[in-house]
Amino acid sequence: MTVPELGISGQLKLKASKVLVIGAGGLGCPSLMYLVGCGIGTIGIVDHDIVDISNLHRQVLHSTETVGMLKCDSAKKALNKLNPNVEIVTHPVAIANDNIFKIMENYDLVLDCTDTPATRYLINDAAVLLGKTIVSGSGLKTECQLSILNFENQGPCYRCFYPTPPPPNSVTSCSDGGVIGSVIGLMGVMMATEAIKVLTNFYTSDNFKPFLSLYSAYGPQQGLRTFKMRGRSPKCCICNRETRSINKELIESGALNYSVFCGKVNYNILSQEERIDVMQLNDLISKNNENLETPLIIDVRTKEQFDIISLSNSINIPLPKLTKIKTLEELKGAYKSDSRVNDKTNYYVIC
C-alpha cells in the first residue's frame, strides 16, 4: 500500500481480482506464492497432474510430504498457510476444448504456466474469445521468456507471434530437456509482477507496448533482454475480428483439434523387422560370449543423460553427431580405438 505505483487503490484492486493460473509447476508455483502473498481476492489453479519427486527442485510449493498428491491440492495446502484470506479454487482437470470456457470465464486475468504448444494455442484462443489478458511464460534448460498477450483485447496474441506451431520434434519439455529451477522460478516471479501491473492498471491501452522479455542465465547474452514486438497481425485467425476463422463452437465441439494442429512426434518410423526388444538383445549379448558377433549399442541421448545412466556395452553418440556420420566405415574410423568396434560388430541404436 505504501508503494506509490500501487497505493491503497491498487491494493483494493488486487483484493477484488480473480486470477486463473493454468499449471502449478515450475512457473505456476512461484507465481502463485507472490500472487497469494500480495492479496489477490480469488485465485483459480488448473492442474490435473500429481506431484513427482523430480518436480521439487523447481515446483517450490510442493514438498516431499506432498509427493503423490494432486498438484492443485498440494499448492492449495501451501498457499492457505501463506495467506488464508485468499480464496483458492482448484480445478483438477486437464484444460481442454470442452472445459476451458467454463473455467476461464470466471476470472479477470490468465497466467499461462503450461509447457506444450497445443495447450498454449488453446488457452490463447479461449482468452481472446473471452476478452481476457494473458501473462505468458515459458522456460527450458537455462533460458526463459515472458510476454503479455491479448492485452485488453487489442492483441497481439500467441497466434500473432506464432501463426504456425513449431515442428513437434523440436519441442522439448522441462522433464525431458531439464531446466535450472531458479531460472524458471525467476520467470514465475516476473509473471506475478506483470499480473500485478495489469490488475492495478499500470498498463493502459494507451501506454501498453507489446514486448517479449528473455532471460538467459548462461551464454554470451546472459541477463535479461526485453524486445519490442509488433502489434496484432492483420492476418491473425483469432484476434483480428475481420479475418477471424476460429470461434467458440469450433473449439467446444472439438472440430478444432489442437494436438492435430500442433502435430505429434512420429515414433513409428521403423518396421518391426528393424526393431529389437530387450530380451532379444539380451540373447545376442549372451551369444557374444561364444564370440559369434559383438553387439554394440549406440546410445543417441545427450551426454548428460548418458552420464546419469547407461548400459555397460554402449557408446554415446548423441543424435546430432550421429546424423553427421554418413557411412559405417566413417563410424568405425571414429571409434577404431574402442576394442568393441571390429569387423564382427553389429550395431544397435537406443534412444
Active site residues: 174, 351
Bridge partners (DSSP) of residue 98 are: none
Nearer to Zn ion, 106 or 243 (CB): 243
Applying CB under 5 A, among 61, 109, 159, 184 the residue interacting with Zn ion is 159
Is residue 110 within 8 A of residue 153, CB to CB? The reply is no
Applying CB under 5 A, among 35, 51, 100, 157 the residue interacting with Zn ion is 157
Bridge partners (DSSP) of residue 348 are: 297
Run of H or E residues at 88? strand 87-91
Taking the complex as a whole, the smallest distance from the CB of residue 149 to Zn ion amounts, in Å, to 8
Per-residue binder mask for Zn ion (CB under 5 A), 250-269, x = binder: --------------------
Taking the complex as a whole, the smallest distance from the CB of residue 157 to Zn ion amounts, in Å, to 3
CA–CA distances in Å: residue 306 to residues 53, 139, 350: 21, 23, 11
Taking the complex as a whole, the smallest distance from the CB of residue 163 to Zn ion amounts, in Å, to 8
Of 68-76, 157-165, 205-213, 250-258, which part binds Zn ion (CB under 5 A)? 157-165
Q: According to the binding rule CB under 5 A, does residue 174 interact with Zn ion?
A: no
Taking the complex as a whole, the smallest distance from the CB of residue 146 to Zn ion amounts, in Å, to 18
Of 107-115, 150-158, 175-183, 205-213, which part binds Zn ion (CB under 5 A)? 150-158
Applying CB under 5 A, among 27, 126, 160, 192 the residue interacting with Zn ion is 160
Total residues interacting with Zn ion, rule: CB under 5 A = 6
Q: Can you tell me the distance from the alpha carbon of 31 to that of 97, in angstroms, rounded to the nearest whole number?
A: 25
Q: Can you tell me the distance from the alpha carbon of 165 to that of 195, in angstroms, rounded to the nearest whole number?
A: 26
Per-residue binder mask for Zn ion (CB under 5 A), 100-139, x = binder: ----------------------------------------
Taking the complex as a whole, the smallest distance from the CB of residue 11 to Zn ion amounts, in Å, to 33
Convert 127-175 into a string of H (helix), E (strand) and C (coil).
Answer: HHHHCCEEEEEEEEECEEEEEEECHHHCCCCHHHHCCCCCCHHHCCCHH
HSE-up of 59 (CA within 13 Å, CB side)? 27
Nearer to Zn ion, 160 or 192 (CB): 160
Residue linked to cell 490468465: 110
Site for Zn ion in 199-238 (CB under 5 A): 236
Of 98-106, 154-162, 218-226, 244-252, which part binds Zn ion (CB under 5 A)? 154-162
What contacts 63, CB < 8 A, 6 or more positions away? 56, 74, 78
Nearer to Zn ion, 36 or 134 (CB): 134
Taking the complex as a whole, the smallest distance from the CB of residue 345 to Zn ion amounts, in Å, to 54
Nearer to Zn ion, 32 or 134 (CB): 134
- Among residues 144, 280, 306, the alpha carbon closest in space to that of 212 is found at 144
Q: How many beta carbons lie within 10 A of that of residue 269, not counting itself? A: 6
Q: Can you tell me the distance from the alpha carbon of 26 to that of 47, in angstroms, rounded to the nearest whole number?
A: 12
- What the block records as the C-alpha cell of 168 is 513437434
Applying CB under 5 A, among 146, 149, 239, 298 the residue interacting with Zn ion is 239
Please report, as ranges, the residues that interact with Zn ion according to CB under 5 A: 155, 157, 159-160, 236, 239
